Amino acid sequence: MNGINEFSGKSNQPGIDKVLALLKRSFQFFTLFALMVLLAGHENSNPKFDNSLVDFYLEQTSEQIQTQSKILLLNSNADSTGFFEDYINKLTVRFYELNDYRPAWTYNYNTTNDFEILVNFVDSLDYLGIPNRYANTRQIKKLVDKLYEYRNDEQLNYRIALEIHATRLMFKTILLVNRGIFIEDKSPELADLADSIAGNIYHSFKNNDLKNALLNTHPDFIPYSNTIRAISVFIDNRRTILTYGTDTLENSSKLLAQGLYYAGILNEPNFDSVHTREIILKNIQKKFGFIQTGKVDQQTYQKIVYMIEKRYYQVCLNIDRLRKISNNSADYIFVNIPSFSLLAVQENKPSKSFNVVVGKKSTPTPIISSKINKIVANPYWTVPKSIVTNEMLHRIRKDSTFLKRNGYMVINNWEEEVPDSLINWSLSDPLGNKYWIRQKNGNKNALGQVKFLFPNDYKVYLHDTPSKKLFEKSYRAYSHGCVRLENPDQLAQHILSGYTKNSYNIRQLINKKEPYLIDLPVEIPIHIQYLTCLGNENGELEFYEDIYDKDDEQLKHLFSAKQNI
């Protein structure tokens, strides 16, 4: 007998069935346990933000994220970190609120693809004109190492730290790219941006579109876009020079010429028969008191590297200036003071360019963003009191016919003409607050034939000039602060044809010899800015003279203090 009834098929040993059942359940339990361990340890290379896969530590992680969010909010309300850092804290809290405090960058104890996208974006910030010390990934990479190194409770702590740090880093990066490097900025534009940014980023996570969301934080602005495109060549050249040292520069005339161009020594990125390699190197060595070998020795190399590094920060400074320009229009007028140029942009494409004359160093053209709302043909000119006092008064005292000969008249506060003989010109302030000097329209008028008006606190405007020979000069800083425009009738016609329904002909209006004011139905944004470096349409950086000596002071202010996150 083998213990089994031949007819019934039942066991003669009922205890065996219980043992087999127990073994079967044990096998199922250990199989499930092994699967759980395997899933927990498996690195999901592309987990979705809101997927159905199991995060075995989700509950504990969410509780800790919520706790840390409350701490961040308390710190922000206590104003312990400054306005900019408070914004980052509040954005972080809002982001996790929208996501019900679930983790965004980690899955179990591994990082996600979105985390890699963020790290790569931050690591490339120098190509966007932001030195990596302002937002870097060193600390966050250390947290990743700790996350992989530790287990249990300590591992959970590092996961929470990584989550909070990565989210704050993301928002800081977005604000830096969109608004520039700053410590305190309480502008309405920043507040508007911050109010919407957390929700936009949350939706980008939900739609697996973080990469595009980060890239779309850039200002949509032609001068900015051109400069960002051009900086990559500069950085690649800079990195090559820094990486390979003196031998590379000594053996590559092309790389040396490019380096010297970016260092501000050559006007073009190449040598020629006059500016030969040896002559340029000897000039550098002579200037800094080095032995004039005409070769790239270590001392000369270090000086070239220093000058290139300074230029890099100059580029970063100008990109930062561009980021701070608030522009929401596809049509605008852009004046760059150091390049003595004006660009008319229509539908986000360059339309017309013009030469301009800007203010002298003693009477600089102010940095302004406003909107052109009026154009005047054949304008008169009310002379600013400062010009009367500093430049005209001594002429009037010497020559009683000076005013009449040059088309000037004296007016009162009601704009009525009064005889100039009634004014006691011997006084230090003969006009006081009662009278003004006005120049009639005509060929001698300082404003020429056309004037463009836009509201501003500096009482400056864009206008024509009878001094046409100034446009033949390469250096054109001669005005009292206003911007003088070459071919103003062309710009006026461009605006009138594109933004008014009436068929104005500016030349016909000018020929009438009478003042004619046109109120524009559509205001045209105008940005008068100070940029000593810009990218051109060919993807090349162009550097301009720092005519008002602004760069050094602003470089120290912007880059002297190290910011951490």
The predicted-structure confidence for 35-73, as pLDDT tens digits, reads as follows 343 334 444 444 444 444 577 788 888 999 998 888 887
Residue 78 lies in a domain: yes
At residue 46, the pLDDT reads 41
Question: What number is the average pLDDT over the span 351-376?
Answer: 96
Asked whether residue 508 carries a pLDDT value surpassing 80, the answer given is yes
Share of the chain above pLDDT 70, in %: 85
Q: Are residues 332 and 300 in the same domain?
A: no
Residue 65 and residue 160 in contact, taking contact as beta carbons nearer than 8 Å: yes
Written as one string, the DSSP assignment of 302-370 is HHHHHHHHHHHHHHHHHHHHHHT-----SSEEEEETTTTEEEEEETTEEEEEEEEEEE-SSSPPPPEEE
Based on the domain organization, do 354 and 372 belong to the same domain? yes
> Does the pLDDT value for residue 425 go beyond 70?
yes
Q: Which of the listed residues 398, 414, 440 is the one where a domain comes to its end? A: 440
The one-character DSSP state at 55 is -
* Choice among 78-82, 131-135, 277-281 with the minimum mean pLDDT: 78-82
Task: Report CA Rg, the chain.
Answer: 34
Phi (first) and psi of residue 560, to 5 degrees: -75, -40
481 and 460 Cβ atoms separated by less than 8 Å = yes
Closest listed residue to residue 56, CA positions, set 111, 96, 107, 103: 107
Instruction: Give the pTM.
Output: 0.83
Give me the pLDDT at residue 76, please: 64
Domain span at residue 205 reads: 58-215
Would 126 be classed as within a structural domain? Answer: yes
pLDDT tens readout for residues 444-498: 889 999 999 999 999 999 999 999 999 999 999 999 999 999 999 999 999 999 8
Amino acid at 152: N
* 339 within some domain: yes
406: left (phi over 0), alpha (psi -120 to 50) or beta: alpha
d(CA 303, CA 408) in angstroms, rounded, equals 56
Determine the average pLDDT of the residues in 110-136.
Answer: 92
Q: At 171, phi and psi to the nearest 5?
A: -70, -35
The residues with which 372 forms a beta bridge, in sequence order, are 524
**Shared-domain flag, residues 237 and 267:** yes
Residues 100 and 182 both lie in one domain: yes
Name 255's Cβ contacts closer than 8 Å, sequence gap at least 6: 237, 240, 241, 248, 249
Report strand pairing: 368-377 vs 516-529.
Answer: antiparallel
Dihedral of alpha carbons 43, 46, 50, 53, sign: negative
Shared domain for 23 and 62, answered yes or no, is no
Regarding whether 259 and 129 lie in a shared domain, the answer is no
> What's the rounded mean pLDDT across residues 545-551?
96
Planar angle of CA 319, 320, 326, nearest 5 degrees: 100
Among 440, 456, 484, the domain-final residue is 440
Q: Using 50, 70 and 90 to split pLDDT, how confident is the model at 82? A: low
When mean pLDDT is compared across 191-195, 437-441, 557-561, the lowest value belongs to 191-195
Do 261 and 306 lie in one domain? The reply is yes
Q: How far is residue 316's CA from residue 431's CA, in Å, rounded to a whole number?
A: 47
H/E stretch holding 242: helix 222-251
Higher pLDDT, 551 or 239: 551
Give the pLDDT score at 106: 92
User: What is the 3-state composition of the chain as percent helix, strand, coil, each rounded to the nearest 5?
Assistant: 50, 15, 35
- Do 66 and 203 fall within a single domain? yes
pLDDT at 352: 93
Please say if the pLDDT value at position 303 is more than 50. yes
Read off the pLDDT of each residue in 111-138 and give the average, rounded to a whole number: 92
- How does residue 85 score in pLDDT terms, banded at 50, 70 and 90? confident
467 with 355, same domain: the answer is yes
Does 545 reside within a domain? no
Same domain, 342 and 423: no
Residue 264: its pLDDT value, please?
A: 87
The pLDDT of residue 80: 45
Mean pLDDT of the chain: 85
What is the mean predicted confidence (pLDDT) over 114-137?
Answer: 92
Residue 519, pLDDT above cutoff 90: yes
- Does residue 10 carry a pLDDT above 70? no
Whether residues 83 and 205 fall in one domain: yes
- For residues 470 and 488, state if they share a domain: yes
What does DSSP say about strands 381-382 and 435-439: parallel, antiparallel, or unpaired? antiparallel
Q: Tell whether 564 is covered by a domain.
A: no
Average pLDDT on 217-230 reads 92
Residue 529: in which H helix or E strand, if any?
A: strand 516-529
> Would you tell me how many other CB atoms lie within 10 Å of the CB of residue 284?
20
Number of domains in the chain: 5
DSSP character for 390? I
HSE (side-chain half, CA atoms, 13 Å) at 15: 0
Residue 69 is predicted with a pLDDT of 86
Instruction: Identify whether 544 is part of a domain.
Output: no
Whether 517 maps to a domain, the answer reads: yes
Q: Is 535 helix (H, G, I), strand (E, B) or coil?
A: strand
Output the furthest CA–CA distance in the chain (Å, rounded): 146
The answer to whether residue 229 is domain-embedded is yes
CATH assignment at residue 364? 2.40.440.10
